[in-house]
């Protein structure tokens, strides 16, 4: 019967939920037969306009409580900082609201006013959905309103990459202003490692003779081997220090909390080099685009970049206008 359900499944504990005066009510009953009778009685009260009983002993679970639970659940996740930042933003806006009262329409309105892009809206929707999934698993809520919010269509994302001239210019600026960070920039460009992969790398994972880095923690969960070309090899070799240990980070993190933040030095260098619409993650686009322009196949790009699917690698067939023109010129008449 709609409005009567067992939670947790197989426990023999039955609940009823119904709406009255625009509010959702939920009551724990016990046996299924009792739950059916109570549900029919409550629905009759709603239809007749009779006052519904106050559930004094029922604890109101807020969205803030669900956020606390999910942050505990993802405490050791590699993207924990992202969860924490999203959690604080959602908590500030919706945290005091009873979790059972949040409707898909209210959530849709909040996402529309808070998020400027479809990608950002989808990330927040996914976070809130995770909060409710954990809430259902813990028996604190029975429904997940985020499931009924439509997923927004995302664009292909920014595929901005550096030309060779821009790379040379940016490299000169970094070497002048922040020489201590030059090696990590060069390695990022010439390996395509993600930021988290690069800054979690330890010396025990580096083999300079084989010219490889063995990554064990990646975004898609699969270990992979990063191959080092001559530029990346020289950059990493320049970071070697006396008495360094196997579990020392290759790229030391700044600050007492051991967190890494490339924006403090990378953004000023981009501005001085007059390079616009570029961020640290774009180094990965540069790596893949340069591979494509050098004649690498989509399958080779997938393997070298560690893409989960070949569809991700296919995005880099866009290349540059100059390279496309050179390909077209190959079929021009030789007469």
String of DSSP letters for 33-92: HHHHHHHHHHHHHHHHTPPPPP-TTPPPPBHHHHHHHHHHHTTTSTTHHHHHHHHHHHHH
Query: Which residues of the chain form beta strands (DSSP E)?
Result: 4-6, 14-20, 23-30, 206-207, 212-215, 224-227
pLDDT at 278: 93
50: which residues sit within 8 A by CB, 6+ positions away? none
C-alpha pair distances (Å), 70 with each of 66, 164, 305, 318: 6, 44, 31, 39
Q: What are phi and psi of 14, to 5 degrees?
A: -115, 150
Top pLDDT among 130 and 81 is at 130
- Token pair, residue 244, equals 């360094």
* Furthest-apart CA atoms within the chain: distance in Å: 94
What pLDDT sits at residue 57? 46
- For the segment 214-239, the average pLDDT, to the nearest whole number, is 87
pLDDT at 326 over 70: no
SS3 of 169, please?
helix
The per-residue pLDDT of the chain, averaged, comes to 85
The predicted pLDDT at position 325 comes to: 63
For residue 260 the two structure tokens come to: 């890494």
**Which letter does DSSP use for residue 243 in this model?**
T
- Average pLDDT score over residue span 77-85: 76
Contacts of residue 256, defined as CB under 8 A and 6 or more positions apart, other chains included, come to none
Decide if pLDDT at 199 tops 50: yes
* pLDDT over threshold 80, residue 101: yes
The confidence band for 56, taking pLDDT boundaries of 50, 70 and 90, is very low
Distance CA 285, CA 17 (A): 50
Please list, in sequence order, all residues whose beta carbon lies within 8 angstroms of the beta carbon of residue 54, skipping any fewer than 6 positions away.
Answer: none
Mean pLDDT for 192-215 is: 92
* pLDDT number for residue 31: 82
Nearest one of 287, 280, 319 to 305, comparing CA atoms: 287
220-226 average pLDDT score: 81
Residue-wise pLDDT for 130-181, tens only, equals: 999 999 888 888 889 999 999 988 776 667 899 999 999 999 999 999 999 9
The pLDDT score that the predictor gives to residue 100 is 86
């Amino acid at each position: 019967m709609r409005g009567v359900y067992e939670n947790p499944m197989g426990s023999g504990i039955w609940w009823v939920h119904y709406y009255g005066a625009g509010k959702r009510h939920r009551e724990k009953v016990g046996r299924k037969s009792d739950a059916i009778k109570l549900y029919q009685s409550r629905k009759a009260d709603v239809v007749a306009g009779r006052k519904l009983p106050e559930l004094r002993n029922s604890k109101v679970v807020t969205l803030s409580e669900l956020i606390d639970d999910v942050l505990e659940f993802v405490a050791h996740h590699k993207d924990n900082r992202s969860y924490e930042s999203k959690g604080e933003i959602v908590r500030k806006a919706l945290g005091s609201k009873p979790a059972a009262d949040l409707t898909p329409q209210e959530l849709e309105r909040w996402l529309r006013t808070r998020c400027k892009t479809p990608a950002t809206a989808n990330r927040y929707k996914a976070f809130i959905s995770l909060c409710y999934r954990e809430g259902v698993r813990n028996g604190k809520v029975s429904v997940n309103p985020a499931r009924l919010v439509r997923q927004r269509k995302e664009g292909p994302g920014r595929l901005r990459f550096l030309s060779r001239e821009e790379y040379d210019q940016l490299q000169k600026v970094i070497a002048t202003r922040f020489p201590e960070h030059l090696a990590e920039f060069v390695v990022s460009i010439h390996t395509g490692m993600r930021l988290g992969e690069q800054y979690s790398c330890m010396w025990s994972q580096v083999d300079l003779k084989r010219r490889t880095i063995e990554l064990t923690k990646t975004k898609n969960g699969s270990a992979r081997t990063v191959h080092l070309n001559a530029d990346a090899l020289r950059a990493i070799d320049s970071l070697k220090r006396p008495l360094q240990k196997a579990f020392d980070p290759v790229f030391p993190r700044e600050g007492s909390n051991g967190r890494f933040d490339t924006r403090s030095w990378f953004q000023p260098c981009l501005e001085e080099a007059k390079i616009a619409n570029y961020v640290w993650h774009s180094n990965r686009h540069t790596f893949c685009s340069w591979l494509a322009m050098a004649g690498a196949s989509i399958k080779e790009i997938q393997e070298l970049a560690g893409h989960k699917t070949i569809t991700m690698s296919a995005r880099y067939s866009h290349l540059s206008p100059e390279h496309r023109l050179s390909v077209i010129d190959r079929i021009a008449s030789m007469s």
